[in-house]
Structure 1
Amino acid sequence: MLKVLKQGFFSTLQDQGRFGFKDKGVPVSGSMDTYTTKAINTLLENASNAAVLEITMTGPTLEFNAPTYICIGGADFVVTLNNEPISLYKIYKVNTGDILFYGKLNIGFRSYLAIKGGFKSTVILNSSSYYYPITKSRCVKKGQELDYEECVDFSPKISEIKISSIFNKNELEIAKGPEYNLLNPSQIKQIFTTIFSISNQNDRMAYQLQENIEGVNYSMLTSATLPGTIQLTPSGKLIILMKDGQTTGGYPRVLQLTDRAISILAQKKYGDTISFKLV
């Protein structure tokens, strides 16, 4: 078990997502930054869908109650294991009683903790990803114990990697959405020449951008959406749906983020800037 001594702001268990239930109104959920989670699970030779702990903005303090191996990635926090600093994308052995502490956030927004074999949690609709009320909990709480299988001996093929940072990338690659043809030349120019900033309304459901463009006053039937769908409201607000976003929407779906762009955006916080590039 991994005991949560301090819960931090918002930490959840996430795998790659809950697929096949959008027609029932169930979001995909899953890791916001799949670029990172795939890397750290690969290092630990876990299944690609192994559950990890997603840590947002401020981190927890955790106590290991059995030996295992871990790897962290994503946002650059000051992280210590028994008061000794540890690095991103490097495997560490932990023993019973070891303490993992998350301190200051330097850059990025979401960190990920992977454990050998993945965290063990109740599988609901083919996924362990937290999403209330599909799951009982919204997030990990102080005093909670997260289950994992003990591992005393592991010889990784690769113990550390250096990967290109996504934190300094502000350009998001996008494709045309189903209602892209509703945009006039002026709106298209605004989308691709404006430097947008992240508003304070951002979470696992959606990111809103602070700057407005010309709106679209178009009445349409509620239609299917995906993580990364960008909707344009009549007031000119751009709303980017994320992993816990609604499965349908009534605003025009003018653009669609690529998977990598979703990972880049997941590491942005209030006030950070982005721009768009059509691919």
Structure 2
Amino acid sequence: MLNIIKAGFFTTLQDQGRFLFRNMGVPVSGVMDTMAVSKINALLENDDNDAVLEITMTGPVLSFEEPTFIALGGAEMAVFLNDLPIRNYRVYQIKKGDVLSYGKLENGIRNYLGVKGGFTTEPILGSRSFYKPVTQHNSVKDHTSLPYGICKDFKPKITELKVDASIIEAKVLKVYKGPEFQQLHPNQLEQLFYTEFSVAKENNRMAYQVNETIEGYQVSMLTSATLPGTVQLTPAGKLIILMKDGQTTGGYPRILQLSDEAIAVLSQKKSGDHFTFKLI
């Protein structure tokens, strides 16, 4: 078991998500930064869908009841194993009673903790990802625990990855044309691709809003399917970028669709961070 001594600001359990229930209104959920988590699970030689902890802004204090191996990735944060600093994208051996604690956030906003074999909570609708009300809680709580398998002997093929920190700092979001893209007129297109947008304070796992506006969209449309990464344009010219816990349908025009890479890049942005769109 992993004991949650202090949960941190917003720490959740996530895998790649639940994909077969969107017709019932259930969001995909899953990890926001798939690029980071894929590297962590690869280092640990896990399945890509093995569950990890997603740690947002302020990290937890954790103690391990059983031996295992861990790897971290995503946002750069000060992390300590028994008071000794450890770093991202490196495999560390864990002994019974070891304590992992988080300090200052340095770059990005979401860090990930993976264990050998993944966390082994009971899947709900085919996924371990937290999403209330599908799951009992929307984040881990103080003085609770998460199960994982015991692992005493593991010789990883690769013990460390050199990952360019510029991934966290990237400012270009690669996007595809959305279903209503063709209905935008030239002035809207110019504003969309030549404006440097900044993340508004309204940003979370459901959606990111931006501070800047473009010319609005006044034509009504039927409620239609949306996906993580769908960019909606409101009549007032606000852009709403749906994320992993975003609703499955919406009534605003879907003008762009973020690539998987762009979702990961945006997921590491905090309020005030800047980005631009690039059509691919």
TM-score range, shorter chain: over 0.9
Structure 2 counterpart of 1:94? 94
Q: Residue 47 of structure 1: SS of its match in structure 2? A: coil
1:114 matches 2:108: no
Q: Which amino acid aligns with 1:36?
A: A
Structure 1 counterpart of 2:217? 216
1:239 matches 2:208: no
Structure 1 counterpart of 2:32? 32
Is the contact made by 1:16 and 1:49 (CA closer than 8 Å) also made in structure 2? Answer: yes
Sequence identity (%): 58
What is the distance in 2 between the residues matched to 1:45 and 1:269? 31
Q: Which amino acid aligns with 1:24?
A: M
Q: Which amino acid aligns with 2:198?
A: S
Structure 2 counterpart of 1:129? 129
CA deviations on 1:213-256 (whole Å, 9 max, x unpaired) are 10001111100000000000000000000000000000000000
Structure 2 counterpart of 1:200? 201
Is the contact made by 2:76 and 2:108 (CA closer than 8 Å) also made in structure 1? Answer: yes
1:65 matches 2:65: yes
What is the distance in 2 between the residues matched to 1:236 and 1:243? 23
What is the distance in 2 between the residues matched to 1:25 and 1:49? 22
Note the residue ranges of structure 2 that are not aligned, 5 or more in a row.
Answer: none
What is the distance in 2 between the residues matched to 1:214 and 1:231? 13
Is the contact made by 2:108 and 2:169 (CA closer than 8 Å) also made in structure 1? Answer: no
CA deviations on 1:90-148 (whole Å, 9 max, x unpaired) are 00001111110010000000000000000011201110000000001110000010100
Q: Which amino acid aligns with 1:196?
A: F
What is the distance in 2 between the residues matched to 1:6 and 1:136? 19
Q: Residue 32 of structure 1: SS of its match in structure 2? A: coil
What is the distance in 2 between the residues matched to 1:163 and 1:107? 14
**Normalised TM-score (structure 2):** 0.99
Structure 2 counterpart of 1:145? 145
Is the contact made by 2:14 and 2:52 (CA closer than 8 Å) also made in structure 1? Answer: yes
Aligned residues: 279
Q: 1:164 Cα deviation (Å)? A: 2.4
CA deviations on 1:134-169 (whole Å, 9 max, x unpaired) are 001110000010100111110000000112231121
What is the distance in 2 between the residues matched to 1:253 and 1:21? 21
What is the distance in 1 between the residues matched to 2:4 and 2:21? 31
Q: Residue 158 of structure 1: SS of its match in structure 2? A: coil
RMSD of equivalent CA atoms: 0.5
Q: Residue 167 of structure 1: SS of its match in structure 2? A: helix
What is the distance in 2 between the residues matched to 1:7 and 1:147? 15
Structure 2 counterpart of 1:46? 46
1:257 matches 2:258: yes
CA deviations on 1:6-56 (whole Å, 9 max, x unpaired) are 110000000001001110000000000000000000000001100000000
Q: 1:181 Cα deviation (Å)? A: 1.3
What is the distance in 1 between the residues matched to 2:63 and 2:47? 24
Structure 2 counterpart of 1:248? 249
Runs of 4+ in 1 over 6 A off after TM superposition: none
Structure 2 counterpart of 1:154? 154
What is the distance in 2 between the residues matched to 1:145 and 1:21? 28
Q: Residue 157 of structure 2: SS of its match in structure 1? A: coil
What is the distance in 2 between the residues matched to 1:110 and 1:265? 11
Note the residue ranges of structure 1 that are not aligned, 5 or more in a row.
Answer: none
